[in-house]
Structures are given as structure tokens and as C-alpha cells.
Amino acid sequence: MTSKVEPQGNWGTDSRLAASQRWKEKSAAMGQPATNAFVDYAEPGPGMQILDLASGTGEPAITLARRIGPEGRVTATDLSADLLEVTATRAQANGLSNIVTRRADAHELPFPDNSFDLATSRFGIMFFSDAERALRELRRVLRPGARACFLVWDSVDQAYFRSMFGVVHRAIGGPYLLADGPNPFRFAEPDSLSSVMRSAGFRDAVEEKRLVPWVWPGSVEELWERERAIAVAFRPLLDRVPSDRWPRIHANVHQELSKYSDGENVAFQISVILVSGRK
């Protein structure tokens, strides 16, 4: 029997779940252009059986379900049952009956061989403890010729992160991210994820960078509050800030974010990487 491998990061904390619930509509709106670009890239078709890994609160599973119609099905998986409950609630609210949720570890998928026509994961695979093992397991459950598609972050050195966590880092120094901690930018280096896909047995592994809008429909104060609540990878950085330094840091972050705000929205473009391979 193999041992269970958990992804890096503490994704199911009460505070993070509360933040996910509180900001779910605005977060979904902010991420929708990236989700749309990713779903276009994945090319879902009517009637497909799709596996979505690390679904979190429901994307791209919900957008995929809309594309494939009632004759297809999206199986949304995550280690957090609480996050999957958010996904199920959102699916019901959108009138989607072709999504099922399943708590599952990506390293040991509870599905038979050759079960799915397409696999996706949006901002998830960077946090798998053993990405190659998870990809081998994913390849097992895909049908011959099926694609696996991923959306991952490009470099941390972009305005969205500089305007918030970069401000904190400049103020207190030390490591930006822990060397042995969760790293959203793990596959930012060119060919890094496609190389792991090839090692796991996928063929035709390719990747491309894409700039997409990333617009928060609200105030700079809201955006900074949301990011502090959900940013697991940056938690050690935030936890190092002495309490007496926070007022100045908050003011500086708000000032930086205000450069991208029109009073109603905080608008960025983000750089992401689209990656795919075929069984």
C-alpha cells in the first residue's frame, strides 16, 4: 500500500475558508478572464468526461461544465471537503447538474484506468508535494490520446505581487518564500512543468505564456484584506511583521494598489503559463 501524499500548504484553515466564502463572487469575477483563457486552451467538447484537480471553490470546473453541456460530466476533486462544498453550492446556484465533487488526493486518484477524456488544474499543480508522481497517476486515469492541461503562475516579479507582498518584503527583509514551503511560482521557469510531464510519460508536452486581465471589482482595502487571508505561501512573510509595523505597511500597500485603481476596480494584467501534454 502506498502512503498518502499531501499537497504543500494548509488549504483548509477556518480563516481561509471564511475568506473564500466572503470573497467568492469577487474572486470569481477577478479570475474569470484567466479561467476563460485556460478553458479555451483545454478545448473541452460536448459529452466529455473531465477530471479537474485541486478544484478549490469551483474553477475551472464550473466554466468547463457550461461548455460541455448536460451530456458531459466534470468531476471536481480536492483534498478539502469544505472547499468542495463551496463548489457544489456554486454549481447548484448556476443550475449545473453535470458536476460531481469527490474528495481525492491527486497522488492516489480513486478512479479506474482510462476514465477521462480531459484533465485540468488551475493554479493547483504547483502545490503538489510530488508533481511527477501525481502526473503519472493522472496519466493512468486518462484515456489514450487525452490531454492534461494546467494553468500556473509565471514569475512572482509582476505588479500584482510587488504591490502587496513586495511592499511587505521590502519593509522587513528575510526570505520572500520559504525554501521548503508552498511555492505558487514553482513552475515559472521555462519548460519546468512540461519537462516533468515528459518524465511522467506524457507526449507532446508544450507550454506558452499569456497575459490576461486580473481585475478586482472593489477597493484596494478589500483586495489587500482578501490577499492576506488566503495567501498561504506568503503567510510566513506576513507572520514576521511586528505589530507596530503594520500601520505603515498597510498605508504603503494601499498607496501602491491605488496606482491601479479607478475607485471602483483595481486592474492588473497578470502573466500566466498554459501547459499541456497528451497521453
pLDDT of residue 204: 97
Q: Does any domain span residue 117?
A: yes
Closest CA to 135 of 152, 123, 121, 153: 121
Mean pLDDT (the chain) is 92
Q: Does any domain span residue 59?
A: yes
Percent of all residues in the chain with a pLDDT value above 70, rounded to a whole number: 92
Provide the sign of the torsion angle of the four alpha carbons 213, 190, 257, 245, taken in this order. positive
Q: Does any domain span residue 8?
A: no
SS3 at position 120: strand
Q: Does any domain span residue 25?
A: yes
Look up the domain containing 122 and give its range: 14-278
Q: Does any domain span residue 3?
A: no
CATH assignment of the domain containing 250: 3.40.50.150
pLDDT of residue 1: 29
How do residues 48-88 score in pLDDT, each as one tens digit? Answer: 999 999 998 899 999 999 999 999 999 999 999 988 998 99
Q: Does any domain span residue 254?
A: yes
Closest CA to 84 of 72, 95, 71, 75: 75
pLDDT of residue 28: 87
Q: Does any domain span residue 103?
A: yes
pLDDT value at 2 more than 80: no
pLDDT value at 4 more than 70: no
pLDDT of residue 240: 96
pLDDT band for 232, please (50, 70, 90 cuts).
confident
Which one is predicted more confidently, 183 or 10?
Answer: 183
SS3 at position 265: coil
Instruction: Give the count of domains, the chain.
Output: 1
Q: Does any domain span residue 135?
A: yes
Contact yes or no for 108/34 (Cβ under 8 A) = no
